[in-house]
């Protein structure tokens, strides 16, 4: 993929204030398309684009959620960099699949938290569960986001989904856990720092903490 095309696409997404996660996914989709055909994406035809999308679905067996991220990136690229109109390419619509979320019982939650590898991961998972946070939100918490005044008892979430700030509840039990955690780990800028203490824990590490705890036998 030519550098100027890549730069144009990145500049467009930056000006549109896309998140780093969205930019990475969109770029992965268009770079995968170029690599699949061994051609620059601005030279491809609609049939070649369709062939790549079929490859993702049928050969790689990617989920609709993952494919939809790639599809969205491809649409964004051709619409805003190549200036193609809607008639130049067709993207198959994502099917509307509604699934009920799996709700853990109180006992299952207790077993999950008890199975965490260490106290830091245990408090991390407790914070997600108790405050109803997304992984991307919990890893970006800072100590001052925990508003523990008895008249407040809230957690401030900055720039969550949709780049919106919001508040969520801070339970007394979670506050006690967070105070114990603070005494043991003394975090600095970030409540849950990563391997490098000046950076917050990455989402992948937080997700692994959950999956590892989930896999442990009861």
With 60 as the cut, is the pLDDT of residue 31 above it?
yes
Q: Which domain holds residue 168?
A: 106-215
Q: Quick check: 211 and 203 in contact, CB under 8 A? A: no
Q: Is-above-0.85 flag for pTM?
A: no
Average pLDDT score over residue span 67-85 = 87
Q: Are residues 141 and 184 in the same domain?
A: yes
CA atoms 176, 204, 2, 57: torsion sign? negative
Task: Please report whether residue 90 resides in a domain.
Answer: no
Main-chain dihedrals φ then ψ at residue 217, nearest 5 degrees: -65, 150
Task: Please report whether residue 175 resides in a domain.
Answer: yes
Last residue of a domain, one of 29, 63, 80: 80
Is the model more confident about 102 or about 98? Answer: 102
Main-chain dihedrals φ then ψ at residue 168, nearest 5 degrees: -140, 170
pLDDT number for residue 146: 94
pLDDT number for residue 95: 55
pLDDT number for residue 37: 93
> For the chain, how many structural domains are there in total?
2
Q: Mean pLDDT score of the chain, rounded to an integer?
A: 86
Average pLDDT score over residue span 35-60 = 88
Reported as a single tens digit per residue, the pLDDT across 155-205 is 999 876 667 889 999 999 999 999 999 999 999 899 999 988 889 999 889
Average pLDDT score over residue span 121-138 = 92
E strands in 130-214: 146-147, 154-157, 166-169
- CATH number of 29's domain: 1.10.150.130
* CB atoms near residue 136 (< 10 Å): 15
């Amino acid at each position: 993929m030519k550098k100027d095309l890549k730069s144009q696409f990145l500049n467009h997404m930056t000006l549109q204030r896309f998140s780093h996660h969205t930019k990475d996914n969109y770029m992965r989709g268009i770079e995968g398309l170029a690599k699949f055909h061994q051609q620059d994406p601005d030279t491809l035809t609609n049939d070649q684009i369709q062939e790549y999308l079929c490859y993702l679905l049928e050969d790689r067996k990617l989920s609709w959620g993952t494919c939809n991220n790639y599809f969205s990136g491809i649409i964004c690229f051709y619409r805003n960099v190549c200036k193609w109109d809607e008639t130049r390419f067709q993207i198959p619509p994502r099917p509307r699949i509604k699934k009920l979320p799996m709700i853990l019982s109180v006992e299952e939650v207790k077993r999950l938290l008890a199975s965490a590898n260490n106290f830091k991961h245990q408090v991390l998972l407790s914070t997600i569960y108790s405050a109803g946070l997304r992984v991307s939100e919990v890893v970006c918490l800072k100590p001052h986001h925990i508003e523990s005044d008895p008249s407040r008892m809230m957690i401030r979430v900055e720039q969550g989904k949709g780049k919106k700030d919001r508040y969520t509840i801070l339970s007394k039990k979670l506050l006690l856990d967070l105070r114990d955690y603070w005494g043991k780990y003394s975090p600095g800028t970030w409540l849950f720092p990563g391997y490098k203490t000046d950076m917050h824990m990455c989402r992948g590490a937080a997700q692994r903490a959950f999956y590892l705890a989930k896999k442990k036998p009861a």
